[in-house]
Amino acid sequence: MFDEMRGADGTRPPYREIERWLDALGPEALALKRDEAETLFRRIGITFAVYGEGGDPERLIPFDLIPRVFSATEWRTLSRGIVQRAKALNAFLHDVYHRGEILKAGIVPEDLVYRNSAFLPEMMGVDPPGRVYSHIVGIDIVRTGPHDFMVLEDNCRTPSGVSYMLENREIMMRMFPDLFARERVEPVDGYASMLRATLEEVAPRACRQDPVCVVLTPGPLNSAYYEHSFLADQMGVELVEARDLFVDRGLVWMKTTEGPKRVDVIYRRIDDDFIDPLVFRPESVLGVAGLMNAYRAGGVTIVGAPGAGVADDKAVYCYVPDMIRFYLGETPILKNVPTWKCGDPGDRAHVLDNLGEVVVKEVHGSGGYGMLIGPRSTEAEREIFRRKIEADPGAFIAQPTLALSTVPTMTADGAAAPRHVDFRPFALVGREIRLTPGGLTRVALREGSLVVNSSQGGGVKDTWVLADR
pLDDT tens per residue, range 134-160: 999 999 999 999 999 999 999 999 898
Helix or strand or coil: residue 442? strand
Average pLDDT over residues 321-332: 98
What is the Rg, in whole angstroms, of the alpha carbon atoms belonging to the chain?
22
Break the chain into its structural domains and give their ranges.
340-400
Spatial CA neighbour of 427 closest among 169, 168, 79 = 79
Looking at mean pLDDT, say which of 54-68, 157-171, 256-270 comes out highest: 256-270
Question: What pLDDT does 238 receive?
Answer: 98
Task: For 173-250, list the strands marked E by DSSP.
Answer: 213-216, 238-240, 245-248
Question: What pLDDT does 367 receive?
Answer: 54
- State the number of CA atoms in the 13 A half-sphere of 44 facing the CB: 22
Average pLDDT over residues 433-440: 96
Question: What pLDDT does 51 receive?
Answer: 46
Spatial CA neighbour of 17 closest among 133, 183, 167, 149 = 183
Given pLDDT bands bounded at 50, 70 and 90, which one contains residue 368? low
pLDDT of 387 > 70? The answer is yes
| Phi, psi dihedrals of residue 369, rounded to the nearest 5° | -90, 165
Cα dihedral sign, 70-139-374-416: positive
Q: Which fold has domain 340-400?
A: Dna Ligase; domain 1 (3.30.1490)
pLDDT of 459 > 50? The answer is yes
Torsion, Cα of 453, 60, 196, 71 (10° steps): -60
Reported as a single tens digit per residue, the pLDDT across 194-223 is 999 999 999 999 998 999 999 999 999 888
Task: For 218-349, list the strands marked E by DSSP.
Answer: 238-240, 245-248, 251-254, 261-263, 265-268, 301-303, 335-336, 340-341
Question: What pLDDT does 40 receive?
Answer: 86
Rounded to an integer, what distance in angstroms lies between the CA atom of residue 45 and that of residue 145? 37
Window from 172-186, 227-241, 390-404, 441-455 with minimum mean pLDDT: 441-455
Cβ(318)–Cβ(341) below 8 Å: yes
- State the number of CA atoms in the 13 A half-sphere of 53 facing the CB: 12
Please work out, in degrees rounded to the nearest 5, the angle formed at the alpha carbon of residue 126 by the alpha carbons of 125 and 130: 120
CA 420 from centre of chain: 18
| Phi, psi dihedrals of residue 128, rounded to the nearest 5° | -65, 155
